[in-house]
Structure 1
Amino acid sequence: MNSHEQDEQRVVWAVVDSGIGPLLLAATPEGLVSVVFHATDPVRDRALARLADRLGAEPVEAPDSPLLAEAIRQVEAYFTGARRDFALPLDWSLVSGFNRQVLRELADGVPYGTVVGYGDLARRVGQPGAAQAVGLAMGANPLPVVVPCHRVVESDGGIGGFGGGLETKRKLLALEGVLPEPLF
């Protein structure tokens, strides 16, 4: 393999501290490909091994790569309240079909400080009976925070589930002014 082919397949990663704990950010030349919550060393190592398997390239720590450096800046600005949306290229290769369709609609159509019900999101992608499938798509979101699955809630006002844990979901919704700040 020549160096150009290696560059094309390169997966870079960094861990950034956030208002909800350490986040692992990973990117390919296409764009940000993965965000992982609670990125302690064991969680990070498992996530990097999964990425290597799925993408066929060993991830390399490179917080100074231009795309990751920009992603880190935007994530930090989001958690300080200075940024409301992300302007990053995204690599959707870890998700396909219905899940990709739902996540793209979420990314493009549910702005900061708003929420959407699982059923509403299903209707938006032309599958009105697919609220449960939308829930599964949220659970499969490889780009949480950036693709804001925390903004999807139950139609009866319940907070719904969340891969990062309900405390994390509450903190993100409080950051965006949807919920009051947690009392403790």
Structure 2
Amino acid sequence: MGKRRLEDAIKKIDHPIEVTYRSFELDPTIGRDIKENMYEMLAKKYGMSIEQAKANTENMVRMANELGLDYQMDTLILTNTFDAHRLTLFAKAQGLMKEMTERILLAYFTESKHIGDHAVLAELAGEVGLDKEAVSKMLASDEMADEVRADERTAAQYGVTGVPYYLINKKYALTGAQPTELFVQALEQVIAEDEATG
């Protein structure tokens, strides 16, 4: 949701803005094949009932719908996202990071695909124009692992503890799914400062 609001804000500003996606795992210790569903995981993690977890999630789904996003939390497949992050960085080297990121998010939140599964990731990569065989070979190795870990170390240096987290010009941070207008204000402020000092 935060990504969509940022994109909407950028459309409202008549200035070139470059967005760089970085790797961040909410839970690096989670396994690839999880038996729990989203509600069970949230209930256990935050010490709440399944009903409370569903209510919290329904609110997020409602907000996503307002942005034109169709989140399917009942069928979402929890998994370790490390390999998905490796794939996005592999795609970055091919100039397709934005497309790969968008495709993975759609697969995860809307299509309930298992984004920890290498075959699924290779299929998704093929859909955005990457070579499926090259992606399968990369995923079978430890290629791009150091790059993901470097992103995560950088995030730690900036004090990132959750997502979404936006760092503008390495100076200003916004956290959470902020309203579009807040993104517009922050970006306009940074542009004005850059023009004043440039």
TM-score (norm 2): 0.28
Task: Report which of the two has the higher share of helix.
Answer: 2
Kindly indicate whether structure 1 or structure 2 has the higher relative contact order, using CA contacts under 8 Å at least 6 residues apart. Answer: 2
TM-score (norm 1): 0.30
Task: Report which of the two has the higher share of strand.
Answer: 1
